[in-house]
Structure 1
Amino acid sequence: MKNHIKEQALVQLIIENKENFYRLAFSYVKNKDDALDIVQESIHKALLSIGNLKEEQKLKSWFYRIVVNKSLDFLRKHRRVNVMDDTILELYSNGNYDDYQNIDLERCLDDLPEKFRTVIVLRYFEDLKIEEIAEILKENQNTVKTRLYKALSMLRIQLEQTKLLKER
């Protein structure tokens, strides 16, 4: 496939899934500007290396992998504490009452090691299939399933501990 056709397919993919790519980056960095930067850098990298893509049907997982890698690179480069800004706090507030359950889940998810958090985010927040996640992470499907099972188990334990601490 010629690069021009690949570029058109990439642009179409990005247009159709821009919110998903942004949400994925945001799930790592918890900052809207940084997430936008990551998506922009991912697009730039993809356009520069589109010639390396062998099969068009793998375009989606290829670009997801770029976004995940750029997000992880950003976190390694900018190891820092992310302060929640007002926009994030508004996501959890409906104006009637405080609901801490989602905040607890997000904190527990953030505490997971990267390889476990990534499979949770891709499976449940991006609604990708196991096969797609395996392709994105360049892992065996059974490895992804095992990580997903272990990540869910770790999350459950962390959430139960958080609940117990709150009850004290």
Structure 2
Amino acid sequence: MPQTDENLIKEILKGNESAMEILVKRYYDLVHSYIYRTTNDYNIAYDITQDVFIKMMKNLDKYNLNDGKFKNWLLKIVVNTTKDYFKSKTYKQRIENYDIENHQIEDKFNVIDIISKKEESIKIKEAVENLPSLQREAIFLKYYNDLKIKEISKITGDKESTIKSRLFNGIKNLKKLLGGDLFEEESQHTQAKM
């Protein structure tokens, strides 16, 4: 029978390394996939994921059972660490280099190469990436991590009404970017997978 997060945390705080390994394995995919969807770069997502688990371990003694699910506490660390990355010098330098590389790539490739990408899922992924960051964050937490508005509010520190507004506007923007019907079909398909 699998141990609860709370039992694992108690064991970790006593110094049990195997309990730490179990807890990290339990949440690794969740943490990494959120960060990867947000950064769209596997290596950076890997680095930030490592940072998240280091922060988790350093602050595990501050986790309070009365604050709610451990998953939500961990996602708060994930969201804040990812935001910190986007404010960092590393990110700003990467953007500058990316712009330079893109100008060079545009000269080398023709339109046919660009069009030959995978269709529906790539369109949706690109549309989500084009959303304002706060709308994108709300959509990732709601639809990809299956969180309730109240949980997202606790994780981000924003009011529930603000989260609802971001979700509403994010979906409205996605419909515009995708031509309406495509997003409806894909969101139903995505929810069926969860």
1:148 pairs with 2:167: yes
User: What's the counterpart of residue 84 of structure 2?
Assistant: 73
* Counterpart among 127, 135, 140 of residue 116 in structure 1: 135
| Cα-to-partner distance string for 1:131-162 (whole Å, 9 max, x where unaligned) | 2212211222222122111110111112229x
User: What's the counterpart of residue 46 of structure 2?
Assistant: 36
* Counterpart among 10, 19, 26 of residue 5 in structure 1: 10
Distance 2:164 2:12 in 1: 32
Say what the alpha-carbon RMSD is for the aligned residues: 3.1
| Cα-to-partner distance string for 1:49-103 (whole Å, 9 max, x where unaligned) | 22322336342111111111212222222132398xxxxxxxxxxxxx9532221
User: What's the counterpart of residue 70 of structure 2?
Assistant: 59
C-alpha deviation, 1:47, in angstroms: 1.2
With structure 2 as the length reference, what TM-score do the two structures score?
0.65
Q: Which has the higher contact order (CA 8 A, sep 6+)?
A: 1
C-alpha deviation, 1:6, in angstroms: 7.4
Change (3 A) 1:105 1:6: farther
Amino acid at match of 2:175: R
Distance 2:140 2:174 in 1: 12
Change (3 A) 1:144 1:10: farther
The correspondence of residues 68-147 of structure 1 with structure 2, limited to 5 A, is: 68-77=79-88, 78-79=91-92, 80=95, 81=98, 99-147=118-166
Amino acid at match of 2:65: E
Q: How many residues align?
A: 150
SS in 1 for 2:179: helix
Change (3 A) 1:120 1:54: same
Q: Which runs of 5+ in 2 are unaligned?
A: 1-5, 14-18, 102-115, 183-194
Amino acid at match of 1:35: A
What is the percentage of aligned positions where both structures have the same residue? Answer: 24
